[in-house]
Structure 1
Amino acid sequence: MIQQDIKHFQMVDTPLEDIPKIHKTLRETFTSHKTLPIPYRQHLLLQLARMLQENHKAFSSAIHADLGKPPFEVYIGEINPMIDRAIISARRVPEWARERSYEGHADLPEPQKAWKPKVVPTPKGAVLVISPWNYPLILSIQATIGAIAAGCTVCLKLSEVTSNYAGCLQQLLPKYLDQDVIRVVCGGVPEVTKVLELKWDHIFYTGNGTIARIIAAAAAKHLTPLTLELGGKSPVIVDPKCDLELAAKRTLWGKVTNCGQICVSPDYVLISPSALPRYIDGLKKAYEEMYPADQGAALGSDSYAHIINLQHFNRIKGLLEKTKGKVLMGGRMDEERLKIEPTVILVKEGDVLLESETFGPILTIVELEEEGFIRKACDWVSERDHPLVLYLFSTDEQIQDEVRRHTTTGGLVFNDTFMQLDVKVLPFGGVGESGYGRQILENTFECFSYERSTVDIPAAAEEKIILRYPPYTDHSFKVECEPGLNVKIPESTPEGGLQV
């Protein structure tokens, strides 16, 4: 079933009148308990993997048509991880969904052990996944994997901006997965507005804070829980004593991947005056190695994606026109091919490039004073919205600890950029303005399930709980209430905490 020609995969907007019907079907399927059996969930997950494996060329071609993304980036950053994580989820879901007994818990009173206390991971129901355009495959499929593993039914609203990918998935998914369990909705504002009018049991949104507020307001009308995977201005702090050439190369790689159109792209660099010249030299050297001038540099390279569309091209172009900073590298553009080469700009506080996430190939540099540089960098980060990730280039464990203690970010990465996404066993997500909730493998499963507590109080417990019934007496108070007031509270100090 390998497809290479994407002409057959044209996105078709979902009729507005069909959206409530889709919602009804997904809810009816969930209430039928069709998705509860673990073997069925495993089969659906493996069908997702088969769809990606058997049609990888079609998906790669579609994403290249939308973003100009090099196939290498599509496979290493989207297709391959999703095949892998679908298979892992199929193998691990019996463990994730297994009920957990608390009969042996250290804090459980002896009489309550007979009550069989346990927790059962339970699917939330019919859920909505709203995915963005910048990494269209992984950001639609990853949440879907978790929802299926949890036993939910899924409405997947794809971005109309990446219409080739949307059309590809819209037509291929029904060939592999039950349409009573997962449905794709395509279209723009009218379609997503209609979807948000309906009551879902969980909404998983990836995108920007402005749209997240609209989605959160719509969810609030139904008290629907949310996972928000947002972004923000992810900073880079450069310790003057680090390997500056390597730090520059790894920062630039994080910036040029997908032309900077990713939520964890390094947005700006905080650096000391003594380190700046060598760091800039490192950026220039790395740029020449990645995009040799005699091969057309970045604008002529097949290893460099383009800006998604003219609207975003003009947005980034406008930032470059408005900045009062000094261009240290790059700045050239090719509007016809929607390409802007990696551009490094030295700015001062208050510059337009520091106002919001650039979401493009602009790397902003900010110089901070040499004395007390690390603490000043931490203060700079802490005084702004909490970013999705902070990158620190330093092998000094004391500096690493200082940055850890004095900043608040979704993630913290030492001595590289971007690679935290490859560590699939760790939770990924933001804090504050960069979002809330966690994902990847078991963490995504937990987004779409909840821990249902159960106890079974036997008739034999009656003699232990008989005093709970009215009329209340001095005797019942003395037996049931006084012991809780007379418990000895351990000694403690501000320095040592609990004194054992």
Structure 2
Amino acid sequence: MPELKYNSAAEIDDAYETLQATFRAGTTRPLSWRKHQLNQVVLLLRENLDAIVQSFAGDLGKPRVEVITGEVGPIVRRTIQSVALLDEWASDERVAAPDWQQSWSPTVLKRPKGVVLVISPWNFPVFLTFQPLIGAIAAGCPAVLKLSEIGPGVSTLLADLLPKYLDRSAYRVINGGVPEVTHLLRLKWDHITYTGNGTVGRIVAKAAAEHLTPITLELGGKSPVLIDPNTTNLKIVAKRVLWGKSRNAGQICVAPDYVLIPRAAQDAFVEAIKEAAAELRLDDALASTDSYGSIVSEGHYRRLRNLMTTSSGTIVVGGNTNEERRRIAPTVYRDVKEGDSLLEGEIFGPLLPIVPVDDVRQAIEYIDAHPRPLVLYAFTEDPEVKQALRDETRSGGLHFNDVLSQAGVDQLPFAGVGESGYGNLTLKYTYDEFTYLRGSVDIPLTLEPNLSTRYPPYTPAVIEALAIKSGAVQAPTAAATASA
């Protein structure tokens, strides 16, 4: 594993001042320049695919297929779409004002916010670094990228590659730990995007508030899976849920965190889980190099092992571990009760507790009584259950009859709500995060006669006319005027 080189305070300040000067000079303003930088992102990812895959080896041990389908591929696709759609996104928009204001040319201008800070996580270090970056580039914003020190392999590679492809006067990589992040957060940014946990999210939000800086927070949380056994094929459900929990060793912000199922159906679901585990060959998880990954660090491995030893649930699948390789086989627990260690915080690992409830109604009440998750999964074909979930629950996303797949729909916003964060990402939603809308009018001097009533002195007739024009007073009807 490479040793990650941390940036000094002087290097951080230099990056900040350079990017500020670049923005003031208007370098990032032309759409042609933005498109070139976006095309450079595509080149970076495509020309260095093998090196990117290899960089995951010591960090997450992420299989090649997961790097291609979950890290590189989606960003290449979305970057190409951003280039194609940028002219449309960035076009000024004339608004439909009243007839008497149309000659003012009322227009919404779309302008970059300025220099932005992107703090990305270790679990999807390519995808979750480049997704906000391509939005910042498209919007015309220079950006500092603070990469995660927990994944030194990927962070070292990206720090080496980005200056070779992107304009260094506009885009810089900063590596470091808590002191470096603290230094970055003391500076005044025009927007901050942070992806990670709620504890750090609160620190970022507090620091941003000192400068009234707008922020985007993607904070994850405990994403539940509600299963309605009355209308659901449990074998398919078990396979889909277990697959989702196994990806990236469960270290995904939208991973299924726990299952809610009526207790009368728990035995049948457990049997379906066992069949799915055999079909997915989860016994190979500790040794596989092409299907399953590792826990990112010894600290996270110990945290998960502690959850395993303190849970009162009964293991029905998995339970095997390999400390040397930081591997934990996908592990499913049944009969997990409120207050269990597995239900205290986001698991962020390949452990899946099954929480039995009386019925679907109690499951909905359970979800509504807990912090708002980043995503709510529900397996049901009952229109009434679906509508109840739409109306009675709150979550960043609501997705039926599969897990994780929603992240591959480019046109959907990716966002949390409440404790799971705020702000939107994905394609135009990301562009919009780094863009502010600037209202503009251009009132010709030749229209001065039309504005004469706004100047004093105000006669009763003028006051009445202004009151009617402003809407404060209803205009007299034709009948009223005739009778008068």
Q: TM-score range by the shorter chain?
A: over 0.9
Task: Tell whether 2:441 aligns with 1:452.
Answer: no
User: How far is 1:203 from its partner?
Assistant: 0.2
Task: Tell whether 2:61 aligns with 1:68.
Answer: yes
User: How far is 1:340 from its partner?
Assistant: 1.0
**1:374–1:403 CA contact under 8 A, matched in 2:** no
Task: Tell whether 2:238 aligns with 1:248.
Answer: yes
Aligned to 1:495: none
User: How far is 1:314 from its partner?
Assistant: 0.7
**1:11–1:170 CA contact under 8 A, matched in 2:** no
Give 1:80-229 correspondences, 5 Å limit: 80-102=73-95, 105=96, 108-229=97-218
User: How far is 1:462 from its partner?
Assistant: 2.2
SS at match of 1:319: helix
User: How far is 1:10 from its partner?
Assistant: 5.3
User: In structure 2, what is the Cα distance between the partners aligned to 1:398 and 1:67?
Assistant: 41
Amino acid across the alignment from 1:403:
L
TM-score, scaled relative to structure 1: 0.92
Aligned to 2:329: 341
User: In structure 1, what is the Cα distance between the partners aligned to 2:148 and 2:116?
Assistant: 17
- Please, which of 462, 465, 470 is the counterpart of residue 476 of structure 1? 462
- Please, which of 388, 404, 423 is the counterpart of residue 437 of structure 1? 423
Aligned to 2:263: 273
User: In structure 1, what is the Cα distance between the partners aligned to 2:159 and 2:282?
Assistant: 39
Identity of aligned residues (%): 47
Cα displacement string for residues 330-362 of structure 1 (whole angstroms, at most 9, x for unaligned residues): 212111111111111121112121111011111
**1:140–1:158 CA contact under 8 A, matched in 2:** yes
Cα displacement string for residues 280-302 of structure 1 (whole angstroms, at most 9, x for unaligned residues): 11211111111264xxx221222
Give 1:321-360 correspondences, 5 Å limit: 321-346=309-334, 347-360=336-349
Cα displacement string for residues 51-75 of structure 1 (whole angstroms, at most 9, x for unaligned residues): 0000001111102321011110010
User: In structure 1, what is the Cα distance between the partners aligned to 2:282 and 2:192?
Assistant: 44
User: In structure 2, what is the Cα distance between the partners aligned to 1:42 and 1:223?
Assistant: 30
SS at match of 1:19: helix
**Count of residues in correspondence between the two structures:** 471
Cα displacement string for residues 59-93 of structure 1 (whole angstroms, at most 9, x for unaligned residues): 11102321011110010001111111111111111
Task: Tell whether 2:419 aligns with 1:426.
Answer: no
Cα displacement string for residues 133-165 of structure 1 (whole angstroms, at most 9, x for unaligned residues): 000000001100000000000100000111110
- Please, which of 53, 58, 63 is the counterpart of residue 51 of structure 2? 58
Amino acid across the alignment from 1:129:
V
**2:277–2:317 CA contact under 8 A, matched in 1:** no
User: How far is 1:482 from its partner?
Assistant: 4.3
User: In structure 2, what is the Cα distance between the partners aligned to 1:228 and 1:475?
Assistant: 54
- Please, which of 224, 249, 252 is the counterpart of residue 235 of structure 1? 224
Task: Tell whether 2:375 aligns with 1:399.
Answer: no
Amino acid across the alignment from 2:449:
E
User: How far is 1:474 from its partner?
Assistant: 2.7
- Please, which of 349, 352, 357 is the counterpart of residue 363 of structure 1? 352
SS at match of 1:67: coil
Amino acid across the alignment from 2:382:
D
Amino acid across the alignment from 1:78:
E
User: How far is 1:261 from its partner?
Assistant: 0.3
User: How far is 1:464 from its partner?
Assistant: 2.5
User: In structure 2, what is the Cα distance between the partners aligned to 1:316 and 1:129?
Assistant: 28
Aligned to 2:34: 41
User: In structure 2, what is the Cα distance between the partners aligned to 1:32 and 1:328?
Assistant: 62
SS at match of 1:364: strand
User: In structure 2, what is the Cα distance between the partners aligned to 1:31 and 1:472?
Assistant: 45
Aligned to 1:382: 368
Instruction: Give the unaligned 5+ runs of structure 2.
Output: 476-484
- Please, which of 258, 261, 264 is the counterpart of residue 254 of structure 2? 264
SS at match of 1:160: coil
Distance 1:292 1:381, change over 3 A: closer
Cα displacement string for residues 9-67 of structure 1 (whole angstroms, at most 9, x for unaligned residues): 75321111111111000010001001111111000000010000000011111023210
Aligned to 1:305: 293
SS at match of 1:266: coil
Task: Tell whether 2:303 aligns with 1:315.
Answer: yes
TM-score, scaled relative to structure 2: 0.95
Distance 1:60 1:470, change over 3 A: same
SS at match of 1:85: helix
Runs ≥4 residues deviating over 4 A: none
User: In structure 1, what is the Cα distance between the partners aligned to 2:263 and 2:199?
Assistant: 35
**1:154–1:182 CA contact under 8 A, matched in 2:** yes
**1:291–1:301 CA contact under 8 A, matched in 2:** no
- Please, which of 284, 290, 295 is the counterpart of residue 280 of structure 2? 290
